[in-house]
Amino acid sequence: MNFFTLQWQDSSVVMIDQRKLPQEEIYLSFKTAEQVGAAIKDMVVRGAPAIGVAAAFGMALAAQNSTAENHDAFFKEMNDTAEMLISQRPTAVNLAWAVKRIQNFYQSSQDLPLLTLQNMILEEALAIFEEDCNMCIDMGVHGAELIKLGNSYLTHCNAGALATAGRGTALSPFYEAKDQHKKFKVYSCETRPFLQGSRLTCWELLKNNIDVTLITDNMAAKLMQEGKIHGVIVGSDRIVANGDVVNKIGTYGLAVLAKAHEIPFYVVAPSSTIDLETPEGSQVTIEERPIEEVTQLFGTPSAPTDIKVYNPAFDVTPHHLVTAIVTEKGIVYPPFSESLKKIKS
Amino acid sequence: MNFFTLQWQDSSVVMIDQRKLPQEEIYLSFKTAEQVGAAIKDMVVRGAPAIGVAAAFGMALAAQNSTAENHDAFFKEMNDTAEMLISQRPTAVNLAWAVKRIQNFYQSSQDLPLLTLQNMILEEALAIFEEDCNMCIDMGVHGAELIKLGNSYLTHCNAGALATAGRGTALSPFYEAKDQHKKFKVYSCETRPFLQGSRLTCWELLKNNIDVTLITDNMAAKLMQEGKIHGVIVGSDRIVANGDVVNKIGTYGLAVLAKAHEIPFYVVAPSSTIDLETPEGSQVTIEERPIEEVTQLFGTPSAPTDIKVYNPAFDVTPHHLVTAIVTEKGIVYPPFSESLKKIKS
């Protein structure tokens, strides 16, 4: 990687400011948990795994900066910090998961001296960071098997290094294939309304010398018609028990188009994304986002001010349109209701 | 219509400034053919039929303003104006067609006195205007048969009143259905990269009290999945002999999605759009547009400056995805290779 999303450096957390991309590559340094909380809220950092790691580092900063003189005071400080961090993006599953992992850790180690505990909390946060990096690498190694010499792949949104501590989920196979000296091309959908594709995916692939071409979302079908796409590779926010895939709005349309053009459709996500509790995708509530995301572009109105807007943030791709799901544990094929259960066990 | 696109008023041409929409509704008055030429070039007016009518009015202004003292001088002036107007948008078929119709008219009427000729050129331009308005009305009447009570329709780009002198092509059935007091809903794709959907279609439908909702292009599939779309209605830049439809980029993808969801896909266009000389869509050269349309939004960069971009302006929808083609002469069904020939004869 020719950049990093976030790192622990000299008692502080350093993060690339994603709000400034693609125009400027700026790294910000955070010395307190409160600063990290604000960075999560303000979208300095985004992407579920990256937010989780940022929050774990936030907990480590709180531990490190604590002046508590006894365990009770320390635990109160830490729990307050945990609550503050989780409240920044209440729907982010990884955020709560990472914070709770740190909490579970210190709650089960109450007999250790405070200084030891403080150091071990940092080690736990660094472990979360490491594990995320390793999962990314493993998804990349498995996913790279699907990248064939000379072929072109379409991706949507940003499931890349910028969304994780490591090499990303859906983009990790590209980085791995590049390391293996395979030649291939990537097409990136710009991903309206929030433009994660043009702003982030194009930036990070270009930064790492991967051959990437930007299109608007509505050009994908024409590329497929022209025979220029040999596979679609996307990430996922949630994969439910039957293999239905919840991901950024526009994913479902790409899956239908891929099927119509007999192009494989791959999903790359860590096994933590698999939710066996939810039987099918139709049971997932889809968040609707503010209409201004659609009616304004960088602050300039693109539509009449009184227009009605439908702005769902995600869609559900039914499992029968999914060719394979790549996790850090390996590639999973249909029938997903069986193979997903196996990989989670 | 609660606005007009262009009109002849008191020896001048008045046009709505489409560059200012949807924020401001401003009408500009043009008194010379040169001004009209500049307005065509600068996109004050756009849409093939509207540009044709504007050019005809430009010719009428040239005739009206002429101080030529004999027929030769007058014809030279008029031919120079014709050349100037056509050169503003060289690929616009309707522009050249309208200008040549005026030229044919005065070239075949050389024995008339100059003053009579000048007046008759204006009458010919007004006839072109009238014919365009009438064709729009007729497309609307035929197309309205396809609009069913309580249903919702998806449209793409702007094939509306703003693209013609009259009520538009693909949007005309909505205006007619509204006049018939039918209740229905319209969804408008924003139509990246140039946003004709959000800027123009939303504006004109809202202006005429039609229930319209804006979506980004990549939300169409989800709407179809939800059962919210009962038909797709689009215009066309060219329909070739076998029924393949050339239209704004994104149209082909909507046609594939419509087929996958068993939703009818309708094309509305004047019979002048039908090109029987070209056997199939693959033979049509598709214009590629400047990359800045994709990488900048109202002047702000949305992608890295050195990114590669694919920006085709149109795509081709194969005839087997088209349910019916609506023209001013009636509705045409497959097999199009036969029915299109019949309607053109």
Per-residue pLDDT of chain B (345 residues; tens, 9 = 90+): 899 999 999 999 999 999 999 999 999 999 999 999 999 999 999 998 999 999 999 999 999 999 999 999 999 999 999 999 999 987 777 899 999 999 999 999 989 999 999 999 999 999 999 999 999 999 999 999 999 999 999 999 999 999 999 999 999 999 999 999 999 999 999 999 999 999 999 999 999 999 999 999 999 999 999 999 999 999 999 999 999 999 999 999 999 999 999 999 999 999 989 999 999 999 999 989 999 999 999 999 999 999 999 999 999 999 999 999 999 999 999 999 999 999 998
Q: What is the DSSP letter of B234?
A: E
Which among B249, B257, B295 is the nearest to A256, CB-wise?
Answer: B257
| Interface touch A219/B250, C-beta < 8 Å | yes
Q: Calculate ∠ Cα A315-A316-A317, nearest 5°.
A: 120
For residues A83 and B40, give the distance between their C-alpha atoms in angstroms, rounded to a whole number.
60
Please count the residue pairs, one from chain A and one from chain B, whose beta carbons lie less than 8 angstroms apart: 186
Residue B317: Cβ within 10 Å count: 27
Give the pair of three-digit tokens for residue B57.
């009015």
Mutation for testing the B interface, residue in A25, A208, A218 having most B CBs under 10 Å: A218
Where do the H-state alpha helices sit in B145-198?
172-179, 196
- Measure in Å the smallest separation between the Cα of A33 and chain B Cα atoms: 31
pLDDT tens figures, A230-280: 999 999 999 999 999 999 999 999 999 999 999 999 999 999 899 999 999
Relative to beta strand A212-215, strand A185-189 is: parallel
| Interface touch B192/A192, C-beta < 8 Å | yes
Look at residue B1 in the predicted model and tell me its pLDDT.
Answer: 87
Whether the per-residue pLDDT at A92 is higher than 80: the answer is no
For residues A244 and A249, give the distance between their C-alpha atoms in angstroms, rounded to a whole number.
14
For residues A30 and A65, give the distance between their C-alpha atoms in angstroms, rounded to a whole number.
12
Torsion of CA A199, A201, A205, A206, to 10 degrees: -20
Residue B287 identity (one-letter amino acid): E
Q: Which residues does chain B have within 8 Å of residue A218's beta carbon, measured at their own beta carbons?
A: 189, 191-192, 217-218, 249-250, 253
| Interface touch A215/B307, C-beta < 8 Å | no
| Interface touch B310/A223, C-beta < 8 Å | yes
Look at residue B48 in the predicted model and tell me its pLDDT.
Answer: 87
Torsion of CA A330, A196, A292, B289, to 10 degrees: -130
Whether the per-residue pLDDT at A90 is higher than 80: the answer is no
Q: Which residues does chain B have within 8 Å of residue A301's beta carbon, measured at their own beta carbons?
A: 22-23
Gap between the terminal Cα atoms of chain A: 32
Which among B202, B257, B297 is the nearest to A307, CB-wise?
Answer: B202
pLDDT tens figures, A179-223: 999 999 999 999 999 999 999 999 999 999 999 999 999 999 999
CB B223 within 8 A of CB B217: no
Residue A121: Cβ within 10 Å count: 25
- Could you give the domains of chain A? 6-138 (1.20.120.420), 140-344 (3.40.50.10470)
Torsion sign (Cα): B268, B270, B271, B273? negative
Residue of B nearest to A197 (CA): B303
Does a cis peptide bond (omega within 30 degrees of 0) precede residue B113? no
Q: Which residues does chain B have within 8 Å of residue A225's beta carbon, measured at their own beta carbons?
A: 252, 315-316
Q: Which stretch of DSSP H or E encloses residue B3?
A: none
Q: Which residues does chain B have within 8 Å of residue A258's beta carbon, measured at their own beta carbons?
A: none
| Interface touch A221/B315, C-beta < 8 Å | yes
Q: Which residues does chain A have within 8 Å of residue B300's beta carbon, measured at their own beta carbons?
A: 297-298, 300
Classify B265 as helix, strand or coil: strand
Look at residue B89 in the predicted model and tell me its pLDDT.
Answer: 86
Residue of B nearest to A228 (CA): B310
**Catalytic annotation, pick one of A237, A244, A275, A306:** A237
For residues B160 and B173, give the distance between their C-alpha atoms in angstroms, rounded to a whole number.
10
| Interface touch A212/B307, C-beta < 8 Å | yes
Q: What is the DSSP letter of A288?
A: B
Which among B198, B225, B302 is the nearest to A302, CB-wise?
Answer: B198
Which among B190, B249, B300 is the nearest to A298, CB-wise?
Answer: B300
Look at residue A322 in the predicted model and tell me its pLDDT.
Answer: 98
Q: What is the DSSP letter of A198?
A: I
Q: Which residues does chain B have within 8 Å of residue A256's beta carbon, measured at their own beta carbons?
A: 221, 256-257, 260
Percent of chain A with pLDDT over 70: 100
Which among B206, B213, B256 is the nearest to A221, CB-wise?
Answer: B256
| Interface touch A213/B309, C-beta < 8 Å | yes
Residue B15: Cβ within 10 Å count: 23
Q: Which residues does chain B have within 8 Å of residue A201's beta carbon, measured at their own beta carbons?
A: none
- Measure in Å the smallest separation between the Cα of B158 and chain A Cα atoms: 13
Look at residue A1 in the predicted model and tell me its pLDDT.
Answer: 87
For residues B69 and B59, give the distance between their C-alpha atoms in angstroms, rounded to a whole number.
18
- Measure in Å the smallest separation between the Cα of A53 and chain B Cα atoms: 27
CB A243 within 8 A of CB A223: no
Based on the residue annotation, tell me whether A42 is a catalytic residue of this protein.
no
Q: Which residues pair with B274 in a beta bridge?
A: B239
Give the pair of three-digit tokens for residue A166.
């490591």
